[in-house]
Structure 1
Amino acid sequence: MMYFETEDIDSEKKVKDLLADLGKSTMRGIRKCPKCGTYNGTRGLSCKNKACDVVFKEAGEKKKQSVEVSKLNTGTSTRVYSVRMKDKGPDHRGFVQLPILQPDLSSDSDAYLSQVSALCFVESCQRLFNTNILKCHERQVLPSVSTCSHILSAMRCYVEASPLMIDYDILQSLNFCSSLKEEIWRMVNESPGPLVQRVSKNVMAVRCKVTTKDPLGFLHVSFVVSPRLKENVCMCTCATPFLLSSKRPEKKSGVCMHYYICIAAFASDSKCSEEFANFIANESSTSSALIAEQNGMMSDLDVEEPLSL
């Protein structure tokens, strides 16, 4: 009997010695339910007390919001947001511009004025900027003050796009023609903000010339690896999608200047250079950049200031 008691005492002593340096317990990693007082993990989506109906939506909403909408760095006071088009898939996005003055969303008047003066440039949206202008000239049609989900998402956005800066030495090392390198570097120096910003896993927001199609001076370029086709697919809103084949690199048509700007930005970033290694390798092994010069792409690349509210 004494033998077992001595063994238990030795075991307890070993456990205490093992946990002696852990320090005092803290509340880190847990939170108290505001309704029933039950302690839950910070990653939990709802209270673990089955009798309690409290749902913690923060984690899910933050993850969802970070994909749906991102604020762009325009380099000016203009507030432009990249918004996902929910009805067309994760890689289809549009833009929203909000008033320069940051509204107080807790104030009904500020929130109303912000919604009315905000501009939506998402295709197929009823609040589309071009559509609203046309309707203002129709007889017996009053301008609509109703807002859309894209504007509401932008007003609630707290996620900023990740800027991808272009390094001069990296740009010079790429297999681009000299005139293409000079034009990209000129745009880097003249642009008030970064040329390329990452708004989701596959989609980049790229600066472009201000046109009727792209009045904010931004467009979207997506990069997708297609396992079925075993090809790299690039889709820019300025042109039709095109395939980048490693087997037949000379067969590349429809490649736009914005694609090469993204490649330069990927190569200049350590993380993106790994994620988009296939796209970068495709350019390092081809002379396809010469196609850009032959097609006269650089005539439409002046960076201009977008319209402001």
Structure 2
Amino acid sequence: MPSLPSSMDPCPGRPKAPSFLSDLGKATLRGIRRCPRCGTYNGTRGLSCKNKTCGAVFRAGARRQPGTDAVRLLGGARGQLYSVRQRDSRCFVELGTSETAIQTPEGTLLTQLSSGRCHAPACAKAAADKQCQHLKLALGCQAEATPLPLKSSVLGAVQAPAEAKQSLWALATEPTGPLVQRVTKSVLVVKCQASTRHGLGYLHASFGQRRFSCACRPPGHGRAQRRQQHREEEEEEDEEEEEEAPPARCIHFLACICAFASDESLAREFSEFLASDGSGGTGRVWGLKGTVTPQLLRGPGLAPRARGAAAARAKKRKRDPGPGCHQVLDESQVSLSFQEWLGSVTERIHQTMHYQFEGHPEPLVFHIPQSFFEALQQRISSGSGKKRLPNSTTEFVRRDALPLGTFSKYTWHITNVLQVKQIFDTPEVPLEITRSFVQNRDGSYEPFRSPRVEVEPLPEGLGPHEKQPPLRPLELQTFLKVGHTSPTQKEPTPFTIEWIPDILPRSRLGELRLKFQYGHHGGPRQPPGRGDPPPEPPLATITFP
């Protein structure tokens, strides 16, 4: 192919190709491809996008952290805080709203705009008006982190310096959210002291196969420290063994293992970490070996055999796939205790006290054995030397509904809210006299689940601690209306218990009815109407640095 004259060359300033490349033809895009998410050009052999702010995965062989792309955290201090997947790690994203006031001849016009900030290092340096992929994932987030409990008895029994335990307990009792939250199967978010590196006061920690990593230390820090110690002590260890050894622990590891040990199911799942001394070869023992773990795992020898027991159970499931024709359930062994039933009643009361509805609900109706009501009547009469008689007894004839006949109805009016709590309290489901709620973006309300922190007496050396008041988000609450709930009220509001025995005479089942009212604390309650669009959420001023 003859070359073009210089006057006809479309790119006269470009250096001419050598003569042996003159017949290559038109250039193609062979060997590269565009990322479908961000448009960056990548090699066809690439496993994931080389754009660090994108992290799109092209092939199943790419290392991708399992779990949800974005998870909403509980108790964000300044707004809604999210943990978002960032290639092989995770980053934090803040979402909120900003309010602007504009003066017009008609008055003040308030505008509310959604705002957000990504704390990934690569995104923080990008333009402020450019929305990164992490912000988009947070905006479409539907998942929520799981708060982990923390018992002070576990924290007191752990082998760690007293100042470290005091620091953790102070963080755990702050009303800004739980100390440890679970984001994915292996990734946790731990509350920490705010610093220039962790300005939000949160960081990520992960537990893998006998390995723990924390964002408080740069990658490879634990490995370098172990190698330094290896050189100093001149120990001859196998390199593979050295890589599998756990790294030196930090205070955030202490927070995680205390949270694991505070819950029986978590203690079984992370039994390998709880059974180790946690020193990582540093001589600093921050573990639970020989203290709390044996009691939680039901026997001191169970933790090392946890994996073998799980494998044995899996083999058994393969031989016997589960309930079916090979297993016969003994009906005589199926029973419901009074406290289990009463716990369900208490849970029904909680469900009824919803901020989104009026405070005059329909009566709660239960059909229960006579023995259950006799046990409930003992609770009604508790504190008195004799059985408390009903406030009224009524004979009535039922003709317009089944069952037909003449029945007796016994009614008790309880006008002391503490007595109501004493009647319906159970060890598993204590009665909540007040319930807290948060408002969603669509104007609806949902109960606020505060972190499960059990306040227990601390052992000597930790010092006294004050009981923290419960967190009341936005002061949106419902409360039981029992007794005098307002200064102008003349007659007390009762919590009414009605009992109609022998609704089913052969089975000795009666009908229990609970009638009560509840009120609302906080801003104006605006439940969304049926068929109407939900109202806008209340205006709030949230400023991001």
Normalised by the size of structure 1, how large is the TM-score? 0.54
- Give the aligned partner of residue 180 of structure 1: 164
Runs of 4+ aligned structure 1 residues displaced above 6 Å come to 284-287
Normalised by the size of structure 2, how large is the TM-score? 0.32
Contact 2:67–2:185 (CA under 8 A) maintained in structure 1: no
* 1:31-42 alignment runs, 5 A limit: none
- Give the aligned partner of residue 224 of structure 1: 208
- Give the aligned partner of residue 306 of structure 2: none
* 1:9-20 alignment runs, 5 A limit: none
Deviations 1:20-63 (A, max 9, x none): xxxxxxxxxxxxxxxxxxxxxxxxxxxxxxxxxxxxxxxxxxxx
Q: Distance in 1 between matches of 2:268 and 2:134?
A: 32
Deviations 1:125-182 (A, max 9, x none): xxx23x14xxxxxxxxxx5522111101111112110001211112222222333322
Note the C-alpha offset of 1:290. 6.5
- 1:270 and 2:264 aligned: yes
- Give the aligned partner of residue 210 of structure 1: 194
- Give the aligned partner of residue 279 of structure 1: 273
- Give the aligned partner of residue 155 of structure 1: 139
- Give the aligned partner of residue 324 of structure 2: none
Flag the 1:206–1:253 CA change in 2: closer, same or farther, 3 A.
Answer: same
Q: 1:96 aligns with which of 88, 93, 98?
A: 93
- Give the aligned partner of residue 216 of structure 2: 238
Contact 1:164–1:194 (CA under 8 A) maintained in structure 2: yes
Give the unaligned 5+ runs of structure 1: 1-63, 102-108, 133-142, 226-231, 292-306
Note the C-alpha offset of 1:187. 1.9
- Give the aligned partner of residue 69 of structure 1: 70
- Give the aligned partner of residue 120 of structure 2: 122
Q: Which fold has the larger relative contact order, with Cα–Cα distance below 8 Å and residues 6 or more apart in sequence? A: 1
Flag the 1:234–1:145 CA change in 2: closer, same or farther, 3 A.
Answer: same
Q: Distance in 2 between matches of 1:159 and 1:267?
A: 25
Cα RMSD (Å): 3.4
Q: In proportion to residue count, which structure has more helix?
A: 1
Q: How many residues align?
A: 193
Note the C-alpha offset of 1:255. 2.1
Larger radius of gyration: 2
Note the C-alpha offset of 1:288. 2.8
- Give the aligned partner of residue 164 of structure 1: 148
Q: Distance in 1 between matches of 2:276 and 2:267?
A: 12
Flag the 1:290–1:237 CA change in 2: closer, same or farther, 3 A.
Answer: closer
- Give the aligned partner of residue 83 of structure 2: 82
Q: Distance in 2 between matches of 1:122 and 1:191?
A: 26
Q: Distance in 1 between matches of 2:148 and 2:259?
A: 6
- Give the aligned partner of residue 288 of structure 1: 284
Identical-residue share of aligned pairs (%): 31
Flag the 1:76–1:234 CA change in 2: closer, same or farther, 3 A.
Answer: same
Note the C-alpha offset of 1:268. 0.8
Q: Distance in 2 between matches of 1:203 and 1:174?
A: 22
Equivalent position SS for 2:150: coil
Contact 2:261–2:267 (CA under 8 A) maintained in structure 1: yes
Q: Distance in 1 between matches of 2:159 and 2:275?
A: 10
Note the C-alpha offset of 1:283. 3.1
Equivalent position SS for 1:97: strand
Contact 1:174–1:284 (CA under 8 A) maintained in structure 2: no
Contact 1:175–1:284 (CA under 8 A) maintained in structure 2: no
Flag the 1:177–1:211 CA change in 2: closer, same or farther, 3 A.
Answer: closer
Q: Distance in 2 between matches of 1:211 and 1:202?
A: 25
Flag the 1:261–1:176 CA change in 2: closer, same or farther, 3 A.
Answer: same
**One-letter code aligned to 1:193:** G
**One-letter code aligned to 2:213:** M
